[in-house]
Structure 1
Amino acid sequence: MKLDLPRYTERFGAISLHGVQRVYELDSGFNEGRPASEAIRSVGNVEISEIERKMAIVIPIKGERLKLLEGVLSGIPHDCLTIIVSNSPRQPVDRFKLEKEALEQFNRFVGKNTLILHQKDPGLSDALKEVGYNSIFGPDDIVRNGKAEGMVIGMLLAKMAGKDYVGFIDADNYVPGAVNEYVKIFASGIAMSNTPYTMVRISWIYKPKVSESGLYFSKWGRVSEITNQYLNSLVSYYTGFETEVMRTGNSGEHCMSMKLAELLTYSSGFSVEPYEVVDILEEFGGILPTENQDAMDKGIEVMQVETRNPHFHEEKGEDHLKEMFNGSLGCIYHSKICPPRLRDKINEELRGREILQEGREPDMQRNIQSFKSVDIHQFAKILHDRAISFVHSN
């Protein structure tokens, strides 16, 4: 893959927030001694393959169409470990059973290394209790509903498998070729990074919408544009200079080094992706004290890379958008480093969109603690013994 080097970087404490980088070639060959341009980084096939072997791709799924899941599976490079964390209904139709059968049928032909687990499995909850990790439990002592909870389970499974990197791809993607590009971008971003604490976030070149006159290739999602605006305002408040560096606030498709992933706290609900950025700013921005001095010394890199493939995904309606607005802006509003005047603007934004009533605050989402201290060997042992839905196929 051939990408340009970051043209602009916003430095915030120990964090380097890189501006959006472009992809020039989806496959740049093997780079057998060919010199690279000063402005372009060519990441060869061998280098990408080596990183893919160390990477897990997590697919959180909740009732998405099986055809879409099969397409996503087909787009993930063969050497990556694929992890499906399902929260699909078990009754009246057992959707998880159908997902597992679709995966098994797919694997008869390709032999992909894959894990699948239902996040409501009591055996999973037992394993989490035994290792003292209960911040993703509901009142019934079972893992609660939520995409963030599924992502955290996926990260624990990736760590259990000894992977160095973990990426996330949503299950509602219509274009397998786009999925393949995302993973190549993840690997290329990691190859370009100068620190073991790295995050690579996807910026979609277009998010097409179906209209009466055909396809309209919009540049931004309706929520993403506003989330980015307020994340940039948060950065600008401390630097004193207005910025537009953050373009991927709601990017479900992103990747982290395990070294970074295990240090972060996470937010439940629809705030999970923007809260990752907020938490990085809080933890490593130099405003609040941190216990992670090694990461402060080596630095955090957040890369954003624009795809060549457009992002086709399922539309989920106005109610879903309102929940995303509330969660995304709410996690900025409730941040420990959010200044009062930015809180006022967020309140005004949500009231103007008729999402928030006068006198009310945005919902505060539950925080999910970091999993760095989890005894992963003990977790793996109990999970294998007690989780009925856990299947490892290859």
Structure 2
Amino acid sequence: MRLEIPTNAERFGANLFYEVQKIYELEGGYGTDSEFDSPFHVIQQIPYERLYEIEKDLAIVIPVKDERLRLLEGVLCGIPHNCLPIVVSNSKNEPIDRYRMERNMVDTFCRHAKKKYIIAHQRSAELARIFKDGGYPQILDDQGLIRHGKAEGMLAGIALAHLAGKKYVGFIDSDNYFPGAVFEYVRIFSAGLSQGKSPYSMVRIQWHSKPKIVDGELFFTKWGRVSRITNQYLNLFLSHYTGYESEVLRTGNAGEHALSMPLALSLDYSTGFSVETHHFVSLMEKFGGVLPSPIPEIMKNGVEVFQIESRNPHFHDAAKGDDHIQEMIEYSLSVLWHSSICPKSLKKDISNELSRLKIVSKKEEPIKLRQYPVLSSLNFTAAAWKIDWQEHGNFSPS
């Protein structure tokens, strides 16, 4: 891959938020081109062999909930062979057992592709056992099973990736219509992670565009309704502490993102659709220098956040309605409002925004979402189970 060198960045404590990088070539060639050795070059080459090394250690978590099987198969098709796909499904078991259908499709696909994989139902007792035995009960409900929600499925995926020995973990939504876009996302993950100088790094994708039909013609919108609002208030949050107006944060709702495993295990998480926005909140609270950091090692090494713009348009299932959009806005802004370091002036602005959108009245506080502690507090050794690679890559609890 050939893309811009990440030069301009906003520093906030130990966090380094790089501006969005532009891709020039999706395929950068095999071997290193000596032309890029010049210190004055603004474009860098990341050769295929470097991407290959990252992908061998990369798990791709795919949260699924009652998705069309062909869409899920297309996502699997787009994931490079060396990566480990981890499907965490919260699909219905009745009246039709959709999870069984997903499991059969994934098994058949991966058997034909000779590809290892993990698939688990989010509400399975076996998956809950990891967290129960590991001393992480916060994610379990009154039935002793993992709670419903996308964030909970992502946490389960990180735990599975760590147990599988992976050094990196990425996330891709299951409602993507273009396998080529999925392939590009994973390559962006690999390219971004390869740039990290710190063991604590994150890559977040800014979509090139989101196509929609307007007056019978295809129109490529740059920003979604949720992203536009979330990014605005994230940058106001950041600007309050830096003292300079900033627009550096462009990926507040990036469902497609990847983390080095040490960073993934060191962040707090928030439930629902706030999970991606809460990444930034957690980084600024824990490593921004405003509050004492619970992890001095990260303060010493620093955190690098790369934002890279894709070339493929992002075309996904957009039939979820305005209520879904309103919920995403509320959840995203809620984690900012309830942050322990959110300034009063910004709280007021967020409340006014939610009132203007008729999501929350002026006299109400935004919803306070459940938060989960760092996954490093989970005792993986005590989690009495094992991943047993069988003939086609299934796993079974011990």
Q: TM-score, normalised by structure 2?
A: 0.95
Amino acid at match of 2:333: L
Summarize the alignment of residues 14-93 of structure 1 with structure 2, pairs less than 5 Å apart: 14-36=14-36, 38-93=41-96
Deviation at 1:384, TM superposition (A): 5.7
Checking the alignment, whether the CA contact within 8 Å between 2:32 and 2:45 is kept in structure 1 is no
Q: Name the structure 1 match of 2:382.
A: 378
Alignment of 1:108-147 (within 5 A): 108-147=111-150
Deviation at 1:34, TM superposition (A): 2.4
Determine if the alignment matches structure 1 residue 188 to structure 2 residue 191: yes
1:331 is aligned, of 319, 335, 349, to 335
- CA distance, structure 2, for counterparts of residue 357 and residue 139 of structure 1: 32
* 3-state secondary structure, aligned to 1:216: strand
* Structure 1 residue 91, shift from structure 2 partner: 0.6
- Deviation of 1:33 after TM superposition, in Å, equals 4.6
SS across alignment from 1:286: coil
Total equivalences in the alignment: 388
Distance 2:25 2:297 in 1: 35
Q: Which runs of 5+ in 1 are unaligned?
A: none
Question: What aligned pairs does 1:157-168 form with structure 2 within 5 A after superposition?
Answer: 157-168=160-171
Query: Structure 1 residues 275-284 or 103-112, which shifts more?
Result: 103-112
The equivalent residue for 2:362 is 358
Between the aligned partners of 2:167 and 2:235, the Cα distance in structure 1 is: 30
Distance (whole Å) between structure 2 residues aligned to residue 105 and residue 132 of structure 1 = 35
* Partner Cα distance (2:294, 2:117) in 1: 35
- Residue 126 (structure 1) shift: 2.7
Partner residue in 2 for 1:8: 8
Deviation at 1:383, TM superposition (A): 6.0
Name the counterpart of 2:313.
310
Do 1:207 and 1:221's aligned partners in 2 also have CA atoms closer than 8 Å?
A: yes
2:202 match: 199
Displacement, 1:7? Answer: 4.1
Q: Which residue identity does 1:107 align to in structure 2? A: C
Secondary structure, aligned partner of 2:219: strand
Q: Distance in 2 between matches of 1:113 and 1:363?
A: 40
For 1:148 and 1:214, locate their aligned partners in 2 and report how far apart those are by CA, in whole Å.
35
Deviation string, structure 1 residues 86-131 (Cα, Å, up to 9, x no partner): 0001111111001001101112320111000001002222331121
2-structure distance, mates of 1:127, 1:60: 18
Q: Percent identity?
A: 48
Distance 1:176 1:255 in 2: 18
Distance 1:90 1:210 in 2: 35
Q: CA offset at residue 371 of structure 1?
A: 1.1
3-state DSSP of counterpart to 2:120: strand
- Point out the more displaced range, 92-101 or 203-212: 203-212
Does 2:107 correspond to 1:100?
no
Q: After superposition, what is the alpha-carbon deviation per residue over 1:303-323, rounded to whole angstroms, capped at 9, x for unaligned?
A: 000000000011111010011
**Residues in 2 aligned to 1:313 and 1:63: alpha-carbon distance in whole angstroms:** 15
Partners of 2:218 and 2:328 lie apart in 1 by 24
